[in-house]
Structure 1
Amino acid sequence: MSIPSSIGQVTSVDQLSDVQPTDWAYQALQSLVERYGCIVGYPDQTYRGNRALSRYEFAAGLNACLDRISELIAASTANFATQEDLATLQRLQEEFAAELTALRGRVDTLEARTAELEANQFSTTTKLEGETIFGLIGVAAGDSADGEDAPRNPTFGYRVRLNLQTSFTGEDLLTTRLQASNVEPLGGTNSGVLGTNEGRIEFDGDSENEVNLALLRYVFPVGENTNIYLAGTGNGFVDLDASSQLTPYLDGTAVSLFALRNPIYNYSGGTGFGLRHFFGDVVELNLGYLVPDAGDPSPGRGLFNGKYGALGQVIVYPSDSIRLGFTYINSYSPTEADFGLATGSNLANSDFDRPVVTNSYGISGTIDITDWLAIGGWVGYSHHRYIGRGDGDVWTWAGSLSFPDLGGEGNIGGLFVGMEPRLARIDSSVNDGEADPDTSLHIEAFYRYRLTDNIDITPGVIWLTAPNHNAENDDVIIGVVRTRFFF
């Protein structure tokens, strides 16, 4: 059944979905429709006969009847209305003259405001969205990966994003993201003040205050259950909608990069394509292929001749409160490419000067226990083949407790514990068989407080035991305060 865009004329009382022949007023409504044709319904084709009627609504209905009677009189069909009917309507018209005048004035005002908005709108096809983050970050205690005291220099940085969301058909979406930032990461593989990717902040990254094209993606439907993704640049598997639904209370809320999602999604990114298909409401299939150098025709680069990551994933929804994903990612990285997971130990992120083929397997999910409590987590295993040298095994896991609407609607608290990627085993032919000697735990607590509809603030603490999976290093404590402005 189609739904009109505004209150419309009813030609049959049967068009009103909430009016039944057994209703006490059915005959009266039928008579008004058949004799005068002046009954109007709401946009959803209901009459709402049991609700209170405002004087403005009565005036609008009366005006419709008057217009219809005028048409009948003009067509020489005035015999349909008796003199008594006309006298009653004339009296009602005089009584509601003020309301009718006010109603016409309100309609004129709305038309003027609509015309002004149309004349000054940003675009008929594009919506502008923005986000600005100010972040205060500091290392309070602990050692870097080399066993030296980590510098205790607090920093204050920012990240700005402007998203142009464009739709050409109403069902597709082209996302163009401009971004600038100056948040120097605390660590990287053998770099940064921590000397390891463990403990990285979720919004870090330094563009040296230059504005860059950070994301370009086009999504369009093919049938009712399938979306196709064309990834232009800056995409990760999360941008193909492959992971955010599995960790909805962490992605974009936690303060560390590790706590957002299973790290195996980080093995590749950039340009490519993806597919998301729903088998009813219970099963979802995700496919994706991403490369960082798709636009470079040089040997060892391009769309199919360089570093890549290919994803296949099935997500099941046994109920409205449970989502569980089973993920496989195959990736390849030549020695000159940037290899690694962006989180975890230096050994887990090292290619040992060899091309690396990776096969990764993951299980991720979230269960809503109540409206105010959810549990989630993941397990990830990656088999690294260092071509010509040998093999290694990398493991990661995490668990979380989330508290939606804690202390008010839109707030969220979280407790998180996990093991960032760790090289658990490696062949003796690679790195003399030396894997990570110990196990480091990543423990995190955060609370996002919604100040207004467009501002929130998130204090958080990250505690790393045995940094870089080395028990000889003192535990690291990192404090974060993230303030976000968005529209």
Structure 2
Amino acid sequence: MSKLLWKCLLISPGVLLANLAFSGAALAAEIPVQTEVKQQANSLPKDSSLSQTQQYSDETAQVTSVSQFSDVQPTDWAFQALQSLVERYGCIAGYPNGTYRGNRALTRYEFAAGLNACLDRVNELIATATADLVTKEDLATLQRLQEEFSAELATLRGRVDTLEARTAELEANQFSTTTKLVGEVIFNVSDIFGSDKRAVPSGVDPDTAPDLDSNIIFADRVRLRLNSSFTGSDLLQIRLQSRNITPYDTNVTGTNMTRFGFDGNQDNDTVIDKVNYTFNLSEAVQVKVDAADGNIYDNINNFNPDLASDAKGALSRYGRFSPIYRTGFGGAGATITFNPKGSFSASAAYIARTANNSGSDGGLTNGAYTALGQIAFQPSDAFNIGLTYARNYQNSLSGVNMFEGTGSVYAGNPFNGVATVANHYGVEVAFKPSSKLTISGWYGYSNAEAKADGTGVDEGDEASMNYWAATLALKDFGKEGNLLGLIFGQPPKVSDNDAFTSAARTTRREDNDTSYHLEALYRLQLTDNISVTPGAIVIFNPEHNNDNDTIYVGTLRTTFTF
């Protein structure tokens, strides 16, 4: 009998270890290697003491019946096994609140505590020689199981050894324990056509405009982001960018209305163009600090979820979101969002365009700036509405560009380069009648004031601008991952302006007619990492001038992500 009990002592932990190991191996086979490394790193003990093992032992409570577990039901697939271990062998413990938590992962400390409880029970059985609990048949069964599964146990040991070796190799060669590299590459083929002449503003003779340069171009943009987290809830982002995509702006088409959302040409020189840090002050307050190239539209909800991305969403600059979010761009500052995960949230942002300039017209507070506040209400996943106000100031040091290259020339620069302050008001809506359809839109009104005298401009002159758009995004159209997008609207337009185009004061800097923006795109998701988006942008009456011919922009954007 003592020999059999000694086998019981040897075999029982082995069976327990085998069961736990088989379960762990099955789970590990479904988890990517990167996750395995992180989970194993998190499970390693911080020191060699057994204090934490003792902590788990102290936090568990021995039960005498499986019915004492509130979260274990007779219909559970493991009910019979738990009932046997609890009521026959008495080596299964629960948590003080009466739960077993059978669906959660097992830590090494908890495993040690459970194994210790079973070993204590085996020692007790040996000491008391309770024959009716441990029988010869039980020991024979254990021995037979060990013999029958010897091959599987050997295979399992080999898999565990291999996994440990792979984990050690990854830990030794990983880029960083805190930083992840994210890459994005855009290839773009495009052309413009439909007019012989470039567009001109209202009041300018179209015959004097330069010819429209129509030529197929092929260009690229590359972005690499280093995303670092130090606490698990914060994010430090450093972005490197190179690109050579010529903007279809006033120098090419005569208007900024034809610009892409992803354009920009630095002759593919690589620069660090974005640095920011996001963290939570509390569960209800999130803060983002921009040190370089801060953009308000990156920091708060812009209410166009499927088309806001410049790499996978709208092709045009205007089609991504309301221009009110472009009033603060390319600077340093901070954004605070209150209740970011709630149905009701509020955001406040401050971006200074020339924060790093120590001149009298620069700095964090004396130079060009935008202060923005927004209230967002999302009573359900199907409906989202925002009310936004922004006040911005721009001068000759920063350049006057009220809407970051969207809308007409007059709307972006109503007083011909004179320092300008403006109040902007906007309402944005996103409606999702189904998980695959999103209808979004925005309306904005702005009032600008000249802060100095200039050619044809008196200090105190005022101008009014307005704009609107409606968008439709249909996801999984034709195939899962694909996206059909339609955008129609009126880019920013000067409806009233006290200033004139010249000292002669013969023509006001107003947009006499109305331009319309029409855009259609279809994103084909070829793989998880590659998408191709053909599309077209049509600008009717460019520069809000009926004398200009309609301009068409055709493009094929290919996006690689990794």
More helix by share: 2
Give 1 or 2 for the bigger CA radius of gyration: 2
SS across alignment from 2:372: strand
Pick the aligned partner of 1:366 from 430, 455, 458.
430
Matched residue, 1:101:
154
**Which piece of structure 1 moves more, 270-279 or 398-407?**
270-279
1:224 aligns with 2:244: no
SS across alignment from 1:94: helix
CA displacement 1:67-120 (0-9 Å, x = unmatched): 945983499547353333222211222222222222222222211111111111
1:45 aligns with 2:101: yes
Question: How far does residue 141 in structure 1 lie from its aligned partner after superposition?
Answer: 1.4
Pick the aligned partner of 1:448 from 523, 535, 538.
523
Q: Superposition pairs for residues 314-353 of structure 1, below 5 Å?
A: 314-340=375-401, 341=403, 342-350=405-413, 351-353=415-417
* Separation (CA, whole Å) in 2 of partners of 1:390 and 1:211: 42
Amino acid paired to 1:420 = P
Matched residue, 1:57:
none
Amino acid paired to 2:280 = P
SS across alignment from 2:158: helix
Pick the aligned partner of 2:321 from 261, 270, 289.
261
SS across alignment from 1:335: coil
> Given the superposition, is the C-alpha separation of residues 22 and 166 from structure 1 closer, same or farther in structure 2, using an over 3 Å criterion?
closer
**Which piece of structure 1 moves more, 14-23 or 111-120?**
14-23
Amino acid paired to 2:498 = D
Amino acid paired to 2:557 = R
Amino acid paired to 2:237 = T
Amino acid paired to 2:102 = T
CA displacement 1:35-77 (0-9 Å, x = unmatched): 5466699xx93269xxxxxxxxxxxx9xx98994598349954
SS across alignment from 1:257: coil
Given that residues 387 and 426 in structure 2 are in contact (C-alpha distance below 8 angstroms), is that contact kept between their aligned partners in structure 1?
yes
Matched residue, 1:55:
none
Question: How far does residue 18 in structure 1 lie from its aligned partner after superposition?
Answer: 4.0
SS across alignment from 1:304: helix
1:414 aligns with 2:485: yes
> Given the superposition, is the C-alpha separation of residues 288 and 14 from structure 1 closer, same or farther in structure 2, using an over 3 Å criterion?
farther
1:179 aligns with 2:232: no
Percent identity reads 41
SS across alignment from 1:437: coil
Q: Superposition pairs for residues 105-120 of structure 1, below 5 Å?
A: 105-120=158-173
Pick the aligned partner of 1:285 from 346, 364, 387.
346
> Given the superposition, is the C-alpha separation of residues 197 and 86 from structure 1 closer, same or farther in structure 2, using an over 3 Å criterion?
same
Pick the aligned partner of 2:122 from 57, 72, 80.
72
Give the TM-score taking structure 1 as reference length: 0.88
Amino acid paired to 1:208 = D
> Given the superposition, is the C-alpha separation of residues 215 and 17 from structure 1 closer, same or farther in structure 2, using an over 3 Å criterion?
farther
Pick the aligned partner of 2:537 from 440, 462, 475.
462
CA displacement 1:420-465 (0-9 Å, x = unmatched): 1111111267864341010000100001110111000111100000
**Which piece of structure 1 moves more, 139-148 or 107-116?**
139-148
SS across alignment from 1:192: coil
Question: How far does residue 152 in structure 1 lie from its aligned partner after superposition?
Answer: 1.0
CA displacement 1:151-173 (0-9 Å, x = unmatched): 11111110000000000000000
Q: Superposition pairs for residues 18-167 of structure 1, below 5 Å?
A: 18-20=71-73, 29-33=82-86, 36=89, 45-46=101-102, 68=118, 72-73=122-123, 76-77=126-127, 79=129, 81-142=134-195, 143-146=197-200, 147=206, 148=209, 149-167=211-229
Give the TM-score taking structure 2 as reference length: 0.76
**Which piece of structure 1 moves more, 194-203 or 252-261?**
194-203
* Separation (CA, whole Å) in 2 of partners of 1:201 and 1:170: 35
Matched residue, 2:440:
376
SS across alignment from 1:260: coil
Q: Superposition pairs for residues 234-273 of structure 1, below 5 Å?
A: 234-243=293-302, 246-252=303-309, 253-269=313-329, 270-273=331-334
Matched residue, 1:403:
474
* Separation (CA, whole Å) in 2 of partners of 1:65 and 1:218: 45
SS across alignment from 1:462: strand
**Which piece of structure 1 moves more, 284-293 or 420-429?**
420-429
SS across alignment from 1:222: strand
* Separation (CA, whole Å) in 2 of partners of 1:23 and 1:182: 61
Given that residues 18 and 47 in structure 1 are in contact (C-alpha distance below 8 angstroms), is that contact kept between their aligned partners in structure 2?
no
Given that residues 410 and 509 in structure 2 are in contact (C-alpha distance below 8 angstroms), is that contact kept between their aligned partners in structure 1?
no
> Given the superposition, is the C-alpha separation of residues 15 and 375 from structure 1 closer, same or farther in structure 2, using an over 3 Å criterion?
farther
**Which piece of structure 1 moves more, 143-152 or 248-257?**
143-152
> Given the superposition, is the C-alpha separation of residues 15 and 395 from structure 1 closer, same or farther in structure 2, using an over 3 Å criterion?
farther
Given that residues 346 and 468 in structure 1 are in contact (C-alpha distance below 8 angstroms), is that contact kept between their aligned partners in structure 2?
yes
Given that residues 92 and 117 in structure 2 are in contact (C-alpha distance below 8 angstroms), is that contact kept between their aligned partners in structure 1?
no
SS across alignment from 1:402: strand
Amino acid paired to 2:490 = M
SS across alignment from 2:267: coil
Amino acid paired to 1:338 = G
Matched residue, 2:47:
none
| Unaligned ranges ≥5, structure 1 | 49-60
* Separation (CA, whole Å) in 2 of partners of 1:160 and 1:144: 30
> Given the superposition, is the C-alpha separation of residues 79 and 29 from structure 1 closer, same or farther in structure 2, using an over 3 Å criterion?
farther
**Which piece of structure 1 moves more, 427-436 or 381-390?**
427-436
SS across alignment from 2:525: strand
SS across alignment from 1:169: coil
Amino acid paired to 1:349 = G
Matched residue, 1:435:
510
SS across alignment from 1:151: coil
SS across alignment from 1:347: helix
Question: How far does residue 122 in structure 1 lie from its aligned partner after superposition?
Answer: 1.1
* Separation (CA, whole Å) in 2 of partners of 1:474 and 1:247: 30
> Given the superposition, is the C-alpha separation of residues 111 and 458 from structure 1 closer, same or farther in structure 2, using an over 3 Å criterion?
same
> Given the superposition, is the C-alpha separation of residues 92 and 131 from structure 1 closer, same or farther in structure 2, using an over 3 Å criterion?
same
| Unaligned ranges ≥5, structure 2 | 1-38, 44-55, 95-99, 105-110, 201-205, 452-458
Pick the aligned partner of 1:385 from 438, 449, 452.
449
* Separation (CA, whole Å) in 2 of partners of 1:119 and 1:257: 44
State the aligned residue count.
Answer: 463
- The alignment yields a C-alpha RMSD, in angstroms, of 3.0
> Given the superposition, is the C-alpha separation of residues 116 and 379 from structure 1 closer, same or farther in structure 2, using an over 3 Å criterion?
same
Given that residues 389 and 430 in structure 1 are in contact (C-alpha distance below 8 angstroms), is that contact kept between their aligned partners in structure 2?
no
